[in-house]
Every structure is written in C-alpha cells, then in structure tokens.
Amino acid sequence: MKALLIRVGADCSSGRFNGPMNGMTREFVYIPIPESCDVHADLATPYALFDAALQCFGEVLPKHLVGRNTHLDPDFEHLTYGDQGQRAVQITSYLERGDLVVFYAGLRDLHPRAQLVYAIIGLYVIDDIIAARSVPKDRWHENAHTRRVLRPSSKNDVIIKGKKEVSGRLRSCLPIGSYRSSGDAPEKRPCYRVLPDLLRAWGGLDVSDGFIQRSARLPKFIDADKFYTWFNDQKVEFLEKNN
C-alpha cells in the first residue's frame, strides 16, 4: 500500500477563509477553494451550499465569497478528487487501486480559543484513477474538474474515485499539526509540521520533519500500512455529504 497526504480547502492563500471547527468536539465545516475557471451550465457549486453548515457554528461566509462558485474538490458526496499539472503527474505515477489519499485542511478552531488547526478531514481508499477527459457527460457533475470547461492545458487532469464505505469526509477531524521549529534544523523559522508523536505512529513522511504547509510536492507516507492501522484505530466515522 502507498499513500499521499493532500492539502485541500480554503485558507488564507486561496479564498482568504478557513472553515470553522469546534476544538472540543472536533466537528468542522469543509469550505472548498474558489472556482477560477468557467464551468458547464447548471453544474456550478455555489458557496451558498455551505450557508446552513456555517450557521450551525454561528458563522457566515465573508463578503468576498458571497455569490461566488466553489471548486468543490474533493467532492465527498461522490467520493471523487481531481488534480492537474505536476500534482496529477505525481498521483498517476505513484498511486494505484487500493492505495490511499489522505486529505487535510487548515481549520479555524473556535472553541475553547481561536487558533489555526491542521487536521485530517477525509480519506479515500482508491477504487480508480482516470483521465478527466474520459469521464462521460452524464457524470461531469461528480467532480470539480469535470464540471469545468476543460482547456487544452487540462489534458493531464485526473480524477480519483474512492471506494464506498471505506472512503469519505470525516464526521470529526483529526488534528495532526503544530506550529514549531524543525527538529532537523531548529535555527530555521517555525512552520506547521505534523506532531512528532504522530510521525512516529505513522512511520514518517518523506518531507523534512513533517512539513505540511502548502506545497506543489505531495508528501508520501513512508509506511502507508502503518499509517492506515493508526487511522483505523481512531474509530472514525464517515459522512455522506460535503459540508
């Protein structure tokens, strides 16, 4: 088994908004990044879809996202995830059926005190990886990359499909990161990294001391089987919806 760790969701660099979470219950709202491309008629996924979930946290969308469309990816309702460019190349050259993609996001903890939390929000056991251009029209609605009007530059866009029952969005997130200096280079500026005890429990990542700030390079789990054992030991529950 192999596995990649993939950062998703809106944050200060894409959308200028972090989905809220309750640090006591670990419940959260998944807020996707904004859509930057044209989409096919009637396939748009507006931010209004997330209004009700935000209201449960006493939150509302910031004004700059109101009326805009999301790039809803991963799409947990349909168990899909799409990617493009160099990240798509990394996915297709490394992963296959039965491997894992692990999704994490930067969430805004509201309780007991406001802070940024990096947490796993979903996981797919891969059922298939296909070219976005090969998806039939009657299934375009299942992923953000096929809801788009594909351009010539999108020739290598790929879609991952997760296996049912063992894939999806988590009911409660799993915090994994802290803002700390590197154990390998303590003189360098602190950044967000996976907690040291989790790195040991997972068998490690192939990035410097668990570095998980946004990067074009997707971190690989050194021992995916060990990570998946840890994940299943958390007794997580999957939801069949996006928010």
Provide the domain limits for residue 69: 3-234
What pLDDT is attached to residue 187?
76
What pLDDT is attached to residue 185?
75
What pLDDT is attached to residue 205?
97
The answer to whether the CB of 175 falls within 8 A of the CB of 118 is yes
Mean pLDDT of 129-139: 96
Is pLDDT of 243 > 80? no
Q: Return mean pLDDT, the chain.
A: 94
Which segments of 84-147 are extended strands (E)? 100-109, 115-131
Mean pLDDT of 152-164: 91
* CA atoms within a 13 Å half-sphere pointing along the CA-CB vector of 165: 0
Residue 242 lies in a domain: no
Alpha helix locations (H) across 31-185? 51-55, 85-94, 144-147
Mean pLDDT of 110-132: 93
Residue 14 lies in a domain: yes
3-state SS assignment for residue 125: strand
For the record, the structure tokens of 116 come out as 């940024």
211 or 121, higher pLDDT: 121
Q: Can you spell out the DSSP letters for 142-159? A: GSHHHHB---GGGTT-EE
Residue 53 lies in a domain: yes
Is pLDDT of 214 > 80? no
Residue 63 lies in a domain: yes
Residue 241 lies in a domain: no
Residue 207's CB is within 10 A of a number of other CB atoms, namely 16
Residue 240 lies in a domain: no
Which of 131, 136, 120 has its CA nearest to residue 161?
131
Find the helix or strand (DSSP H, E) in which 197 lies: helix 196-202
pLDDT in tens, 27-73: 999 999 999 999 998 999 999 999 999 999 999 999 999 999 999 99
User: In the chain, how many domains are there?
Assistant: 1
Residue 138 lies in a domain: yes
Is pLDDT of 226 > 90? yes
pLDDT in tens, 71-111: 999 999 999 999 999 999 999 999 999 999 999 999 999 98
Sequence length of the chain is 243
85 φ, ψ to 5°? 60, -140
Q: Residue 186: pLDDT band by 50, 70, 90 thresholds?
A: confident
Residue 239 lies in a domain: no
pLDDT in tens, 173-185: 999 998 888 877 7
